[in-house]
Structure 1
Amino acid sequence: MLARLLRGTGILLGLLVAGGTLVGSGACSFGNVERDDCKSNDECVVTIGPNSMCVEGYCTDPPACSTGHDCRKIGGGGACVDGVCVSTFPKHPQCSTIFEPAELAELPLAGPDAPLVIGSIFSLAETKDEILTQSVRVAVREINGSDKLNRGQRMAVVVCDNGGEKNAATGPARDALNHAALDYLAGTLGVPYIVGPLSSADSLRLVARVKEKNYPTVIISPSSTSPALTDTDDRLAMGEPGLFWRTCPSDTGQGAVMANDVIDVDPVVAGGNIAVAYVSDAYGQGLATVFRQVYGLGRSELFPIDESKLTDPGALAKLASDIDMYNPAGVLVITVRADPTIEILKAMVGKPVAARSFFFTDGAKDASSLLNPNLPAEVKQMIAGAKGTAPASPTGETYELFRANMDSQFQTDAADFSFTAQAYDATYVGAFGVIWASRDGTNYDGRQVAEGMGRLSTGDLVKITATEWPKGKNALAGGGSINIEGTSGPLTFDPATGEAPGRIEIWAVQNDTFVTSTVINPP
């Protein structure tokens, strides 16, 4: 089938004639259309789709596809819409608010100067999640401003929401949002990798969907720390690389530090019983289990609450009452975000347990929520002097440069939120994988990207910065390996698990701010 280009009211339209029916890509009438032969293949690619060629004034059909990965492999780019590769950016309601660059949705996905689009999935109603998308965008801007990708291609990112209004979606509703976001990014767009999501539960949902739909897209989470993700099946076939990676350490380390180096040595708790209040998702279950295994089953008790019950006053009141009856020496609260922690604390107000020592994990380390000056006085008193654990806050020249860039570009202090550096690192890690995968052309997908990510722990040292990007790019494009040092710290990946061990910090709330007291190196 051939298509002649039409010009009408200044817009270039592709016209397909099929079975005697005239099908246009935009509304027009024959009164405002002037026939115009195509002049070049590039004109056809941009207007009709990747691999469309100009033959005797007509554009040939673009190729058929199952996913956007097919379009990149066959034609160097494009999206897969209704089984055909197209160059026009298809829009999705969950993925319509954050783009980098801002005009991405108006750019062609194939043809000269078309960018390589990557994806990101976060709950955009949450401040913390939105901050992590800023880290991703800083990295994309730096790569584009440095030496770009192979053959001078630019990067771009589209961000999809998986939490719904007020991040209130749970259960099947949240599954549907995660599935739709992944189907759009890994299916329609065929992105080679995705940065996100924040929570372990969402990561497990997305990995299962990757397997179900056979999407060859890498998922790189900066913050999903559940030990359950270490052993999850993330390969599309035996012998292929795993498609789930993370730039944060597993909670196997954080749970042990919380037990041995925080609570067991706390002079007020003095080895007493600990109530472990947690949201019963993958993150809460995993970290609570590790903590109790190390601290002792006889010295701790579990108090779970379902995520869907966090807005139920009766369920929260029962949780607080049960913990109070246990009469613990201290309370460990494990939630993936700070707001649920605050709701649990509010439920304890007025009970004797409110005077006990409180301990938090990385999910609560969010200055905008946990240190909110408008919190009730009783809750602020419970938070004051509390201690917590988290993947270590980065330090050093590289981190300070990243922190300055976040401040200058988004007026955000990266130190006020966990995992900002890990999200920035994840974007660079995936981009280095793309350099390896695309060194010989565009016939690649996330499996080759994962192979490239497995080549980032041996070779010459390359720091994750814009200035050292060309050094790492050139080495990988030449078939070599590099040893990256992340903004978040060393990233010595195990290719079998997609994980890198990391340091754990012990932090405290002092004078309405977060203070790091100790950093524990991995064993």
Structure 2
Amino acid sequence: MFLTLILGCSLQLYDQIPCTTSAQCRSFGVGSICSQEPDETEGFCVDATPTDRCYSSYPEHILTEDGADWENHRNDLIIGALFDHQSDLPNVDAVNLATKQIADFGGLESKNFIVIHCSYEDDDNGSLDSLSGEDAVQAAASFLIEDLGAPVVIGPAGSSDSLFAFEIAKREENQSVLISPSATSPSLTDIDGSVKTDDDPGLFWRTIGSDVYQTEVMSQLILETQTLNSENETPQLTVVYQDSAYGRSFQEELKEHLNSLSSDTPFDIYYVPFDNIEDLSISNLIGSTGIVFISSDIFDVTTFLDNVALSEAIIYLADGAADEQLLKFFEGLDSGQQFSARIYGTRPGISSPDFDSFASAYNTFSESQAKDNPYAAYTYDATWMAISGYTWAHFNFIAENPEQTTPQYTGKDIAKGLRHLSSSDSEDIFFYSGWPQIQGILSSKQTVNVSGASSRLNYDLETEELVSHMEIWRIIDLEDNNYCFSTQQVCNAEEGCSLLWTESEASLCD
């Protein structure tokens, strides 16, 4: 186990330069921080070494469990990555893949990109630092943003965790950008202000649309399937939701849609929040013809399903449940096929024609499979967005400061660059295959229309938000307990929605 913050004694390098904040050590380059340790290094600039939560990087040799090697990376461009390393490792691989690909292109002129990874996993058994929830997120975010000075961070994955991390990112002395691949709560739309402009862009971005659209699809799905299966009885729906930023806002949006759709249809609807899945009383769900379960934690999902496996209710799940771990859960059930037939799910859909190209590269690079981890594509896109924002900031800085030989980029500079990645006046260009063209356009301070592995990244610049394609998913047993997600796109971001599930139009997994 690491100490809470282990700092190498690099005083000779900095000639005992005193400091009170790590920002005062940035002139020495990437990796230089102000020691807060109660020893002879306290109050001096030193090299950062691993913490309990931050001990990996890409390239891998820079930060490891055994130490750090910043010497050849002082002028590199740093990107932070903030995920739960117990559940989000497919996302970590996606960040690393994009970073490897930009390295294959030679970086940004003479500068290389590096990624420092931190984990906000809960430490309930005290093997790390005994932190969990908000404390764990902010400890990891502080190392990336306040200590290392990362102007852009990929992640977090969840909505509540994004709120916690943004408290660190938005501070006046930090002003770092967060780009989440999967935080879908509508409550996040205005956390960086309701008015965004080219001169004053927002600091919170995401490569996925908010749950406003997913809840619309789910409400229609519920109405049609419950009406179809009600046998002239009044359907009874119970909405069980995680009492978190994600769960509460999802429930609120869903409730609004259900009230609107069910105004002409008899429907009994009950709402049940929970803090801890272990404390959820299943007896409250008896008699339900349909149960919606909303949580961003896959452990919550599988625990809930295990408890209601004998129920006859139709189960409705959201994007947080569409995880590789859910398939493994069904593989362990004796009656998994019958149970899975009662489950419907919704999630933002992959709509990019370049997904297969990404998946081929990702499946070679990672031990995970892209098709079983859809947020890997969104994370890959978030990383390329960070690279593109850096690129615009780099060339803009050079144009405005021709005498400066060591450009400095802030989160605001990168956010301004992100606003130059959406244009209705040009064709889509995929990040990887079109990078030389994208870089050329950004170098002339022009706007380019980028497309990612997940979708067209066509942002509404008034809100800095995307509208995602939506899909319904089912769990299919191919044979011999080999489960997969079968999907059908039902909402096109430009054309609206059309339900219901049609087997002939579903995309079956391989």
Question: What TM-score, normalized by structure 1, do the two folds share?
Answer: 0.78
Give yes or no for the alignment of 1:454 onto 2:424: no
1:139-178 equivalence runs, <5 A: 139-149=98-108, 151-165=109-123, 173-178=132-137
Question: 1:500-523 CA deviation, whole Å, 9 max, x = no partner?
Answer: 111111111122221112331135
1:18-39 CA deviation, whole Å, 9 max, x = no partner? xxxxx9738xxxxxxxxxxxxx
| Residue in 2 that maps onto 1:404 | 360
Q: Please state if 1:328 is matched with 2:288.
A: yes
Task: Report the Cα distance in structure 2 between the residues aligned to 1:365 and 1:104, rounded to whole angstroms.
Answer: 34
Corresponding position: 1:274 with 2:245: no
Aligned partner of 1:478: which letter? S
Q: 1:117 aligns with which of 60, 78, 95?
A: 78
User: Are the counterparts in 2 of residues 219 and 244 from structure 1 also a CA contact under 8 Å?
Assistant: yes
Distance in 1 of aligned mates of 2:463 and 2:71: 34
RMSD of aligned alpha carbons: 3.0
The one of 416, 432, 436 equivalent to 1:470 is 436
Runs of 5+ unmatched residues, structure 2: 1-7, 36-42, 399-405, 478-482, 497-510
- Alpha-carbon distance in 2 for matches of 1:412, 1:382: 26
Q: Aligned pair 1:382/2:339, yes or no?
A: yes
1:51-90: per-residue Cα shift (whole Å, max 9, x none)? Answer: xxxxxxxxx776957344x655x4664432236555x443
Tell me by how many angstroms 1:463 deviates: 2.9
SS of 1:402 mapped into structure 2: helix
Indicate conservation of the 8 Å contact 1:121/1:181, yes or no. Answer: yes
Unaligned stretches of 5+ residues in structure 1: 1-22, 27-46, 50-59
Distance 2:412 2:170 in 1: 13
1:249 corresponds to which residue? 209
| Contact persistence 1:146–1:467 (CA under 8 A) | no
Count how many residue pairs are aligned between Structure 1 and Structure 2.
449
Contact 1:225 1:248 (C-alpha < 8 Å) held by counterparts: yes
Q: Quick one: distance in 2 between partners of 1:268 and 1:166?
A: 43
Q: Which deviates the most, 431-440 or 262-271?
A: 262-271
Letter of the aligned partner of 1:364 in structure 2? A
Q: Deviations over 1:218-273 (max 9, x none)?
A: 0000000001101224699997321110001100000001112x222222258833
1:347-372: CA deviations, max 9, x gaps? 2244xxx1111111111101233443
Q: Please state whether the residue corresponding to 2:432 is helix, strand or coil.
A: coil
- Write the mapping of 1:327-406 to structure 2, written as runs, cut at 5 A: 327-350=287-310, 354-377=311-334, 381-396=338-353, 398-406=354-362
Distance 2:82 2:72 in 1: 27
1:490 correspondence with 2:465: no
In structure 2, the CA distance between the partners of 1:116 and 1:490, relative to structure 1 (3 Å rule), is same
Taking a change above 3 Å as real, the CA distance of residues 264 and 112 of structure 1, as seen in their structure-2 partners, is closer
Equivalent residues of 1:492, 1:500 under 8 A apart: yes
1:335–1:258: structure 2 CA closer, same or farther, 3 Å change rule? same
Match status 1:429 vs 2:385 = yes
Identity over aligned residues, as a percent? 26
8 Å CA contact retained: 2:195, 2:462? no
- SS of 2:445's partner is coil
Which of 1, 19, 33 is matched with 1:80 structurally? 33
Shift of 1:301: 1.6
Measure the CA separation in 1 of the matches of 2:372 and 2:419. Answer: 31
Choose from 352, 369, 376 the match for 1:413: 369
Contact 2:348 2:469 in 1 (8 A): yes
Match of 1:219 among 178, 181, 185: 178
**Mapping of 1:23-62 within 5 angstroms?**
25=10, 48=13
SS at match of 1:141: helix
Work out the CA distance in 2 between the residues paired with 1:139 and 1:189.
21
| 2:101 matches 1:101 | no
Q: In structure 2, what residue type is equivalent to 1:211?
A: K
Residue identity in the other structure for 2:485: F
1:259 corresponds to which of 208, 219, 225 = 219
Code of the residue aligned with 2:170 in structure 1: it is K
Supply the AA of the counterpart residue of 1:231: D
Offset of residue 152 of structure 1 = 2.2
1:346 to partner: Cα distance: 2.1
Q: In structure 1, how many angstroms separate the alpha carbons of the residues matched to 2:222 and 2:156?
A: 30
359 and 114 in structure 1: CA distance in 2 versus 1, 3 angstrom threshold: same
Alignment of 1:305 with 2:274, yes or no, is yes
- Alpha carbons of structure 1 residues 167 and 477: separation in structure 2 relative to 1, 3 Å: farther
Query: Deviation digits for residues 288-330 of structure 1, max 9, x if unmatched?
Result: 1111111128642211111xx22x3xx23x2x11111xx2221
Number of the residue aligned with 1:516: 487
